[in-house]
Homo-oligomer: A and B are copies of this chain.
């Protein structure tokens, strides 16, 4: 029998993103997604050819958005760094769930408790650095530390010594109120 809601495909995307964000891609089975929608696994395969393709479609909006952002930045020198940063911030917010759930799959660490331990420490460091629990104050620390942390991942091609000074300087500027 046909189901209550017309747009099953969109419902699947919604549930899948929710579960992936919550438990990670690998640890979410198609059975779980199907159960939550009260359909069968086989029905999923009518709408999506594979689990991987489902993932691809979930990340696609972010990928598209990011590509557009890059394109704009490339074709003309835009209206100032502030505007760029604001736009990038908005982009991250817009795809917050994707960032949270798909760009870092922390499920395994969460299961073992390691993740909580790390995040707890990080959170305390953030608050201590700025001496406040206020989100606006904390953000300075998150930017500074998050930025440094990102270097470890994204600058894998360069020797740490080559950018260490610059990175620390930048983080310091971010941390200190203007």
Q: How far is the CB of A45 from chain B (nearest CB, A)?
A: 17
The answer to whether B66 and A122 have CB atoms under 8 Å apart is yes
Please tell me which one of the listed residues B73, B140, B146 contacts residue A125 in the complex, with CB atoms under 8 A apart.
Answer: B73
Please tell me which one of the listed residues B66, B108, B176 contacts residue A118 in the complex, with CB atoms under 8 A apart.
Answer: B66
Whether A104 sits at the interface, judged by CB under 8 Å, is yes
Question: Do A171 and B169 contact each other (CB < 8 Å), given the known contacts A63-B114, A73-B125, A146-B154?
Answer: no
Question: Do A106 and B108 contact each other (CB < 8 Å), given the known contacts A85-B171, A154-B126, A154-B142?
Answer: no
The answer to whether A152 and B99 have CB atoms under 8 Å apart is yes
Contact residues in B for A112 (Cβ distance below 8 Å) = 52, 55-56, 59
Closest Cβ neighbor of A95 among chain B residues: B152
Q: How far is the CA of A169 from the CA of B27 in the complex (A)?
A: 38
Q: How far is the CA of A162 from the CA of B132 in the complex (A)?
A: 14
Please tell me which one of the listed residues B139, B145, B158, B172 contacts residue A155 in the complex, with CB atoms under 8 A apart.
Answer: B139
A residues apposed to B, CB below 8 Å? 24-27, 52, 55-56, 59-60, 62-63, 66-67, 69-70, 73-74, 81-82, 84-86, 88-89, 92-93, 96, 99-100, 102-109, 111-114, 117-119, 121-126, 128-129, 135-140, 142-156, 158-160, 162-176, 178
> What 6 pairs across the A-B complex have the smallest Cβ distances?
A146-B150, A143-B147, A26-B26, A173-B173, A105-B105, A174-B174
